[in-house]
Structure 1
Amino acid sequence: MTNTDGNEHGMAQDRIALLLADAAQEIETGPAPVAAVVRGGRRRRARRWAVTAVAVAVVAGGTVGAVRVLPDHESAAPANTGVGRPRVDEPVDSTVGFGTHDGRAWNVALRVWTAPRDRAEAVQQMKAMADWGLVPVTSGSPSDLIGRTSYFVIRQFGSPKQNGTRLIVSSDTTADLPRPEGTQINALPQPLIAKSGPSRLVIGTVAKSARQVTCHWKDGSTTVANLAPDNSALHDVNGVIRSIRGFPTANWFVCAAPGKTAYKSAEVTK
């Protein structure tokens, strides 16, 4: 979803849903990943294990990065420059979806970094990414970031108390964000619980016009992901499609397997 005046309201809803989910499940971080921005010179950490909201899957445009463990940082809401443009040194975090599996919370989030306009902004952004423990998909020169958006898809399962896992599923730095059309779908099956194992989670992109994705599992069952309205409240679900702040060219979806089965296929069904 593009940045709009409703973003602040949407982020507030995300935070409220997060806090309610935390209280209900008595876990340290909860499933949705947007924590409040606290400024005092530099960022202060308000919560640990708050995942980006990432999120979520990606897959598109030849974008498949190596799976990496996400460093232990809190996530940040977008900071504006005063003219409606997010700061290059603050990521825009969004939750794609979250739910529970065997009583433990999972979530998928997307962390998007606005394209720097010049080398000075690129240097600033690269330093900020390093502070988060993130590495953009470039040659290593800050100049590679100019005019290019960077995004990281993050999956979290459980909490530190539960020996949970948190991974960067995929990432890219590109001047052309994925733009699927019609019924095109880019799906990235992933382990839901650990860093490896059966693919019980599917993350991906679909066209902005897609209203439903059906994920098929090897045991013959299906999970249906429907398009959630912009700025709508987050819910504990097994499947959903959402528009993502800072990612205007595609919507993101996530499906979780209903049991101990594994991924078979996914398709746009509406």
Structure 2
Amino acid sequence: MWPAARDEVEAQAQLDVMAEYGELPEEVRHAYQMVGSSYYFVHKVVGEKESLAMWSAFSEGGGTPQNLTTAALPLESGTDGPQRLVVGQVTRAAGQVTCTWKDGTSTVVDRAPENAEAPARQTFIRPAESSPVDWFVCLAPKGTEYASAEVTKLSD
């Protein structure tokens, strides 16, 4: 997550560091275009292979984020294999997300427990530093792929 740059000089510094990480927003051609927007990049790591799964921007003061946004992609980068991996973002109001697979089964993802250490490898809805939304991941069982996702419960 890259916080919103306050001016063109700060934006250029961010662009320079983003380039070192190989994270350049496709539509940005000049540093001034980044002023006032936070950028995020989500990477997928499978074994030794890392690839960009999704990226976007949030404008500062840009209103309420969408209730649910997802990206579905194959586990194997560079293939058109089944879209088994779902990366999503939800508002802080989401308490549970259900990912439904094409075979009719589903995976339920709950919000990480508050004030308790949630296991890192267990799937939960989790916050990310500087992000105005929370994040989750769903993995489809072998032999099926992504059909839909929805917020199925609001936080208490």
The verdict on how the C-alpha distance between 1:132 and 1:200 changes in structure 2, with shifts beyond 3 A counting, is same
Which of 181, 190, 193 matches 2:73?
190
Contact 1:145/1:173 (<8 A) preserved: no
Q: Secondary structure at the match of 2:84?
A: strand
Report the aligned-residue RMSD: 2.1
For 1:139 and 1:148, the matched residues in 2 are separated by: 11
Which TM-score applies when normalising by structure 2? 0.84
Letter matched to residue 20 of structure 2: D
- The structure in which a higher percent of residues are strand is 2
Counterpart of 2:121 in structure 1 is 236
The answer to whether the aligner puts 1:266 opposite 2:149 as a matched pair is yes
Shift of 1:219: 2.0
Counterpart mapping for 1:146-161 below 5 A? 146-159=35-48
For 1:178 and 1:127, the matched residues in 2 are separated by: 29
The verdict on how the C-alpha distance between 1:265 and 1:178 changes in structure 2, with shifts beyond 3 A counting, is same
The answer to whether the aligner puts 1:168 opposite 2:55 as a matched pair is no
For 2:38 and 2:63, the matched residues in 1 are separated by: 8
Which of 8, 11, 15 matches 1:126?
15
The answer to whether the aligner puts 1:179 opposite 2:68 as a matched pair is no
Contact 1:212/1:226 (<8 A) preserved: yes
Identity %: 38
Counterpart of 1:213 in structure 2 is 97
Q: Report how many aligned residue pairs link the two structures.
A: 149
Shift of 1:177: 7.7
For 1:223 and 1:240, the matched residues in 2 are separated by: 11
Q: Secondary structure at the match of 1:247?
A: coil
Letter matched to residue 10 of structure 2: E
The verdict on how the C-alpha distance between 1:177 and 1:114 changes in structure 2, with shifts beyond 3 A counting, is farther
Q: Secondary structure at the match of 2:15?
A: helix
